[in-house]
Amino acid sequence: MSDPSIPSIAPSKVTDDPSVELASRRTGMSFQRTRLSAERTLMSVVRTSLSMISFGFTIYSFFGHLQQEEVLRRAHAPRNFGMALIVLGVGILTLGIIYHGAFMRELRKQRRVMTEEALVHAQSTFPVSYTLIVAVLLLLLGLTAIADIMFDFGPFA
């Protein structure tokens, strides 16, 4: 037996009520805003990690030239500091990509559930994330920079 004072959470039928239609559209738009917010967060991670990777490689290169001219005496200090910044940048980027992927999977799952409950009209697809593509390319570039410093090969050698 169901209590008539408790509202039902069963999927609602299509109604002609404009307020229900408006609420459904607003809910759908909130998913798009949330997706774009996740994109902005990933862009921030990319910006931070790009700064760290490029600064680390610049330090390695600049101080490496000073070391070749025998201005610096400590042989491994620029290499170690540059490597630390690059590894930190690659680590931050890796965690950012993993977090973004998990967040987007959960957002898609939530939208699918709300579509099944008729709270959102349709399942719209999220477009390809160009930010994620750039993040993966930057990750590959960072790994290449690490390989170049460690093994002295690659496009930067």
The answer to whether the CB of 59 falls within 8 A of the CB of 83 is no
Q: Is the residue at 30 inside a domain?
A: no
The radius of gyration of the chain from alpha carbons, rounded to an integer in Å, stands at 25
Q: Is the residue at 143 inside a domain?
A: yes
Q: Is the residue at 65 inside a domain?
A: yes
**Number of residues that make up the chain:** 157
Q: Is the residue at 91 inside a domain?
A: yes
Within 10 angstroms of residue 135's Cβ, the number of other Cβ atoms is 22
Q: Is the residue at 34 inside a domain?
A: no
Residue 12 tokens read as 């609602």
Domain span including residue 67: 42-95+130-151
The answer to whether the CB of 60 falls within 8 A of the CB of 79 is yes
**DSSP secondary structure code for residue 10 in this structure:** S
Pairwise CA distance, residues 114 & 12, whole Å: 11
Torsion of CA 134, 138, 144, 145, to 10 degrees: 150
Q: Is the residue at 49 inside a domain?
A: yes
Q: Is the residue at 70 inside a domain?
A: yes
State the distance between the two ends of the chain, measured CA to CA, in whole angstroms.
76
Q: Is the residue at 134 inside a domain?
A: yes
pLDDT tens for each residue of 122-144: 666 777 889 999 999 999 999 99
Pairwise CA distance, residues 6 & 119, whole Å: 19
pLDDT tens for each residue of 49-86: 999 999 998 888 888 777 777 777 776 777 888 899 99
Pairwise CA distance, residues 69 & 1, whole Å: 88
pTM comes to 0.74
User: How many structural domains compose the chain?
Assistant: 1
Position 9 pLDDT exceeds 50 = no
